[in-house]
Chain A
Amino acid sequence: MRSPTIDQVAGSVFAAFSLLVLWESRKIPFGFMAEPGPGAVPAILAFILLACSIAVVIGGRSGKRVAELQWTEWRHAVAILGMCAFMALALERLGYRLSIFIALLALVSIAEKKGWIAGIVFAGCFSFGSHYIFGTLLRLPLPQGPFGL
């Protein structure tokens, strides 16, 4: 069996999303067509998205297939997204300097295999240097972690 086309997969995902929005919109007062309430425009937009998604699926029957896509950079992508998630989790727990230090060290030394010393020097300079510029000089309220770091 041939793999589906990109548009068939993407269109189906968008259609599912629009249905989800429609389902969630039922909790918000729709009002009337002549006097729309807060739920009306989201519901209308979800219908438009559903219609467009169906059109994408129909129009994309002969397009590029999902199996033809190359995901060569996926390891890096997972590492980077993982580090973004780590920063979101750690920023207010470990503080700015420590979270950025760990994230940069992991990316440079583990994901990019540049060695631990290079990673520590780079991550240390960046995390403490950027904190000094933005936190101390420009007075951006950056989160602090244990030991005032």
Chain B
Amino acid sequence: MIETLHSLSLGFATAMAPDVLLYAFVGCLVGTLVGVLPGVGPLAGISLLLPVTYGLNPTSAIVMLAGIYYGAMYGGSTTSILMRIPGEAASVMTCIDGYAMTQKGRGGAALAVAAMGSFVAGTLSIVALMLLAPPLAEFALRFGPPENFALLVLGLLVLAYMSSGPMTRSLTMAALGLLLGMVGMDTMTGLFRFEYGLSELGDGIGIVPVAVGLFGISEILLSAGQDTKRDIRTPRLRELLPTRREWRESAAPIGRGTVLGFLIGIIPGPGHIISSFVSYSVERRLSKHPERFGHGAVEGVAGPESANNSATTGAFVPMLALGLPSGAVPAIMLAAMMIHGIAPGPMLIQEQPQLFWGVIASMYVGNVVLLILNLPLVGLFVNILRIPYSYLYPSLLAFATLGVYAVNNSVVDVWIMTGAGLVGYVLRKLEYEIAPIILGLVLAPMLELNFRQSLAMSAGSYSILFERPIAGTMLAVGLLLLFLGMRPILMQALKWRGDAGLEPAASGERKENP
């Protein structure tokens, strides 16, 4: 414990350095704007702003990106409560009771409860992150290539299982991402694969152009041509104070949302979205007056808002401790770490204590910044919505091009971004989840290397993946999830066999109906 506090003090020394503090503030501010603007979620926001961090030192870059991520969660609640427009997907549940409170003249109180809930959840979940990540990383130091391979496979399977829609779709997307990650030089033999004479592809397909295209450009393509005038009403400062009763009713939902959100956030998948839905259902079920939900129940704002902020921090646990991104946003942040020459994984805490504890400490600072920033400046943030989209999206597009080009000074990356944008647009139209693609792309080189190293260790025997207890357990859990996810298809296949007369039961039925 004393060691943890000592490390935290080191982190605060880093986080309170003027430049890091400035970037934490900028990240929180930009994140809030990203959260406020409908259609530009944290994913698209981080993808588009990733290139801005190239010139920064690694700590400032990660601190700023983290600020954007949790700032977006704060900002997303503002338009949900005041205008029934969720700034990002995790704020959908806040719309229901938050907007109902606004209609009753309690919009200011809803904003205050959301901000306070986010602050409490954010702060407590950072404590949990701080206590959980180092021992988890220490445990992961025992991992060899088979365990790492099993962990990566499990991560992909959990993400596919947790995704909305059929598991086969998510697995297809993950396989597509993994295949894209095969482009470029083979790390074990130095042989070039699928590079078709383009020297730019020798290092593989860049994560940044694919992420910016898949998330940023596709978002622009989907939202273009939707320039609608909005009725904007901003609450006055004195309206922001909740009543004593509202505080009392919010306390327990904030506590439950914090715990739920953190636990859900650790699991691969869109934790921040799922957690707000789960928290809303839990609060409604536990309430003595569930009929109030949907008509301005403050618990319906406090719970989900706390949960989605807590989940955001929870997502940092596997990312910082194991180097395993639990979703698309942590995957992009992991890519940012790699761009800055930092090797993610369990060694991060030992090799880069300044970065790890600096990021943790900056989260404490960021939460305070967001609390101070959000409530008094709520009117200013809401006015951002007055910028016509017909001017906003060309700016985002130009900015994305600039950022993607600046990574390697290569127009090939701009072409990749354009192609990824088109693919992302079509896939999102078809209601396919695109997060597994980016996760696959990030994990592919690690997955391949650990797979081949495992076989080299065992002289070609695949049993090494199942005989070692940790790897075997993780793969068994993964296979169980795969079976559960594929059950509908297996049942359908069995039904067809039955219909075709290949099953005894079906032949019995035929006898009854000749």
Binding site for B on A (CB under 8 A): 6-7, 10-11, 14, 17-18, 21, 24, 28-29, 32-39, 41-42, 45-46, 48-49, 52-53, 55-56, 58-60, 64, 69, 71-73, 75-77, 79-81, 83-85, 87-89, 91-92, 96, 100, 103-104, 107-108, 112, 114, 122, 126-127, 130, 134, 138-143
In this complex, the member of A53, A75, A81, A114 whose beta carbon has the largest number of chain B beta carbons within 10 angstroms is: A81
In the complex, A11 Cα to B432 Cα: how many Å?
11
A7→B461 contact, CB < 8 A:
no
Q: How far is the CB of A116 from chain B (nearest CB, A)?
A: 14
Within 8 A of A (CB), among B454-496: 455-456, 459-461, 486, 488-489, 492-493
Residues of A within 8 A of B409 (CB): 141, 143
Known A-B contacts A45-B178, A59-B168, A130-B398; A84 and B421 likewise in contact (beta carbons under 8 Å): yes
Residues of A within 8 A of B402 (CB): 96, 100, 130, 134, 140, 142
Residue B228 interfacial (CB < 8 Å): no
List, sorted by A's number, 15 A–B pairs whose CB atoms are closer than 8 Å.
A6-B431, A28-B191, A58-B489, A59-B492, A64-B431, A69-B430, A77-B224, A80-B220, A80-B224, A83-B397, A100-B401, A100-B402, A104-B395, A112-B394, A134-B402
Which chain A residue has the least Cβ–Cβ distance from B169? A56
Residues of B within 8 A of A28 (CB): 191, 193
Residue B139 interfacial (CB < 8 Å): no
Residues of B within 8 A of A58 (CB): 489, 492-493
> Which one of B168, B220, B427, B460 contacts A52 once the chains associate, using CB atoms below 8 Å?
B168
In the complex, A95 Cα to B191 Cα: how many Å?
35
A49→B179 contact, CB < 8 A:
yes
A112→B221 contact, CB < 8 A:
no
Residues of A within 8 A of B447 (CB): 41
Please classify the interface of chain B as helix (H, G, I), strand (E, B), loop, or mixed, using the class held by over half of its residues: helix
Please classify the interface of chain A as helix (H, G, I), strand (E, B), loop, or mixed, using the class held by over half of its residues: helix
B168→A34 contact, CB < 8 A:
no
B175→A73 contact, CB < 8 A:
no
Residue B417 interfacial (CB < 8 Å): yes
Residues of A within 8 A of B432 (CB): 10
A100→B489 contact, CB < 8 A:
no
B401→A91 contact, CB < 8 A:
yes
A108→B390 contact, CB < 8 A:
yes
> Which one of A17, A33, A138 contacts B55 once the chains associate, using CB atoms below 8 Å?
A138
Residue B342 interfacial (CB < 8 Å): no
In the complex, A140 Cα to B403 Cα: how many Å?
10
Tell me how many residues of B have a C-beta within 8 Å of chain A: 67
A41→B221 contact, CB < 8 A:
no
In this complex, the member of A6, A7, A33 whose beta carbon has the largest number of chain B beta carbons within 10 angstroms is: A7
Q: How far is the CB of B404 from chain A (nearest CB, A)?
A: 10
B489→A24 contact, CB < 8 A:
no
B182→A100 contact, CB < 8 A:
no
Which chain B residue has the least Cβ–Cβ distance from A9? B430
Which chain B residue has the least Cβ–Cβ distance from A37? B189
Known A-B contacts A59-B488, A81-B421; A100 and B398 likewise in contact (beta carbons under 8 Å): yes
Quick one: CB contact mask for B163-201 with A, threshold 8 Å, 1 for yes? 000101101100110110010001011010110000000
Known A-B contacts A96-B402, A138-B55; A35 and B225 likewise in contact (beta carbons under 8 Å): no
Q: A41-B452, A84-B401 are in contact. List 7 more A-B contacts (CB 8 A).
A: A14-B176, A33-B460, A80-B221, A81-B421, A134-B406, A140-B406, A141-B409
> Which one of A14, A112, A142 contacts B390 once the chains associate, using CB atoms below 8 Å?
A112
In the complex, A33 Cα to B175 Cα: how many Å?
20
A7→B224 contact, CB < 8 A:
no
Which chain B residue has the least Cβ–Cβ distance from A11? B172
B191→A140 contact, CB < 8 A:
no
Q: How far is the CB of B198 from chain A (nearest CB, A)?
A: 14
